[in-house]
C-alpha cells in the first residue's frame, strides 16, 4: 500500500487515520494547551447533534406550516363554494314564497326549474359533472352495484340497466360513485 493510500485508510475502531495515534491528533486550545482526541470527537459529536436538532426543528416547522396552509386552502375553497351556493338558496326561498302567495304550482315548477339550472351552473363552475351510467358497461371504479337483475336483452348483460343515484366527477376524479342496477 502506498504512503498516501496508507494515510487515507481509517482505523475502523476509532475513525482515525491509521498512521495517527490518539495522541497525535491534537489541536491547540485558546489557553495554549492541546485538545485530546476524545475532546475533539465530543466537539464533533456536539456539532453534528446541534445540526440534527436544527434540521429536525426546521422540518417540524415545515410540516406544521404546510398543514396550516392546507387547511387554509380548504377553508378558502369551501368559502368560495358556499358563496356561490347562497344565491341558489335565496332563489329557493323566493320560489317557495311566490308559490305561497299565488298558490299556483306552475309558478313553483318554473321557479324550481330555473333554480336547478342555476345550481347546475354553480357545480359546473366548480368542475363537477354528472356521470352517464345507463347503458354503459359496468365499471367498479365508477359505479356501486346495488343489485343485479336479469338483463332485458342479451346485449345488456354486464351493463347498467338503471341509475338509482347519479354519480358525480370533479376534474376527472370520482366525487360520488353512481349507485346502479346491473344486468346479468
Q: What is the pLDDT of residues 130-166, one digit of tens each?
A: 999 998 999 999 999 999 999 989 999 999 999 999 9
Q: Tell me which CATH code domain 25-126 carries.
A: 3.90.20.20
DSSP character at residue 98: H
148 with 138: CB under 8 angstroms?
no
We find that the CATH architecture of domain 129-184 is: Roll (2.30)
pTM: 0.54
Structural domain spans, the chain: 25-126, 129-184
Amino acid at each position: 500500500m502506498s504512503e498516501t493510500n496508507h494515510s487515507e485508510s481509517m482505523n475502523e475502531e476509532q475513525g482515525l487515520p491509521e498512521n495517527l495515534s490518539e495522541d497525535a491528533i491534537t489541536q491547540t486550545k485558546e489557553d495554549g494547551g492541546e485538545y485530546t482526541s476524545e475532546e475533539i470527537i465530543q466537539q464533533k459529536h456536539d456539532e453534528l447533534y446541534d445540526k440534527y436538532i436544527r434540521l429536525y426543528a426546521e422540518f417540524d416547522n415545515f410540516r406544521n406550516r404546510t398543514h396550516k396552509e392546507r387547511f387554509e386552502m380548504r377553508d378558502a375553497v369551501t368559502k368560495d363554494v358556499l358563496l356561490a351556493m347562497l344565491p341558489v338558496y335565496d332563489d329557493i326561498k323566493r320560489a317557495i314564497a311566490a308559490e305561497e302567495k299565488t298558490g299556483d304550482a306552475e309558478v313553483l315548477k318554473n321557479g324550481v326549474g330555473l333554480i336547478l339550472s342555476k345550481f347546475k351552473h354553480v357545480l359546473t363552475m366548480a368542475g363537477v359533472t354528472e356521470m352517464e351510467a345507463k347503458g354503459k358497461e359496468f365499471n367498479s371504479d365508477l359505479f356501486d352495484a346495488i343489485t343485479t337483475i336479469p338483463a332485458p336483452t342479451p346485449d345488456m348483460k354486464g351493463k347498467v340497466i338503471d341509475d338509482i343515484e347519479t354519480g358525480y366527477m370533479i376534474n376527472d376524479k370520482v366525487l360520488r360513485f353512481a349507485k346502479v342496477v346491473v344486468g346479468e
